[in-house]
Structure 1
């Protein structure tokens, strides 16, 4: 529903895994965060959001509800969630983690 976004995300993951292979011997970890859309990060100048496969443009409120309804937890990732997970990944508590993504999508599953 969102065009080539899935392909782009897969390419980013592949690139991160390659970096982990190259940088691991230097003691550098590579970990990425996979999130949902984050409503607090949306800039809403009062316009409409793209259709994203729904066949009609959406208001920001409709867009947020559409994203939220695609998650198992029926909520979206917040900036606080993102910050908490980034802090965890950067900490010694995740020292063994590399070449991996942290899924903080609230259970979002891409559909057609």
Structure 2
């Protein structure tokens, strides 16, 4: 098992990537603490993990609330003794932003996803790092998307929010890697098997003029494999990156665009 007896915290564990990653961590032997803005959805994921023989606990945590994140991490350390992996898959979808051209977007609306994503990642990473430093060991991870690195339309500040998270990944690693803590991001491109992508598509459908089928064809046709990646593939990559087998990875974002983006 890649993560045998590791202690992992997953933020946004009710979402497609967060839930798939929580399951992948558990399959690889980790004890997983799932969090979400509401407890009920993450409790269902935890129940599935336990039924499959894994170890999981669910808690309600607002990842934008500094005190809530601190209190939860303290409780994880009290229950499990430490934290080895922090995985931030928190998502914010604002249908009032998606689908609006930048020339028509209010400044506050443009900044909102940048502030929310950066704050959530910063808080969860900083508080996790403080708990990892005494052991000089740990892995901090997050998820971005292709608009962080290439131009896109009708996404408001979401591309800029991803770029901010990727810059923070590099800065955190520069400070923490000498203390034994790795910081890595994952950057997939469009996951049609997730409700998140469908929701984002619907918010932009009228302006884009594309049908769902045409949108799927665009995603699959622009990759080297001519297919789309799945949430489970992202999750399995996350499990490897969190493991000792990926000890050489830090201060970087793993390109999961299947060739759509040339690094």
Given the two structures, how large is their TM-score scaled by the length of structure 1?
Answer: 0.77
Instruction: Judge conservation of contact 1:71–1:105 (CA < 8 Å) in 2.
Output: yes
Q: Take 1:62 and 1:81, find their aligned partners in 2: how far apart are those partners?
A: 23
Bigger radius of gyration among the two = 2
Residue segments in structure 1 that go unaligned for 5+ positions in a row? none
1:59 deviation in Å?
2.7
Q: Which stretches of structure 1, 4 residues or longer, exceed 4 Å deviation after superposition? A: 3-6
Equivalent position to 2:189, from 21, 36, 45:
36
Residue segments in structure 2 that go unaligned for 5+ positions in a row? 1-151
Instruction: Identify, as 1 or 2, the structure richer in strand.
Output: 2
Q: Matched residue pairs, number?
A: 107
Instruction: Identify, as 1 or 2, the structure richer in helix.
Output: 2
Equivalent position to 2:162, from 6, 9, 14:
9
Q: C-alpha offsets along residues 51-74 of structure 1, whole Å, 9 cap, x if unaligned?
A: 5xx852x23222221221221221
Q: Is structure 2 residue 206 aligned with structure 1 residue 26? A: no
CA distance 1:70–1:49, shift in 2 (3 Å) = farther
Q: Take 2:242 and 2:229, find their aligned partners in 1: how far apart are those partners?
A: 19
Given the two structures, how large is their TM-score scaled by the length of structure 2?
Answer: 0.36
Highest RCO, 1 vs 2 (Cα 8 Å, sep ≥ 6): 1
Q: Take 1:8 and 1:68, find their aligned partners in 2: how far apart are those partners?
A: 24
In the alignment, which residue of structure 1 is the partner of 2:218?
66
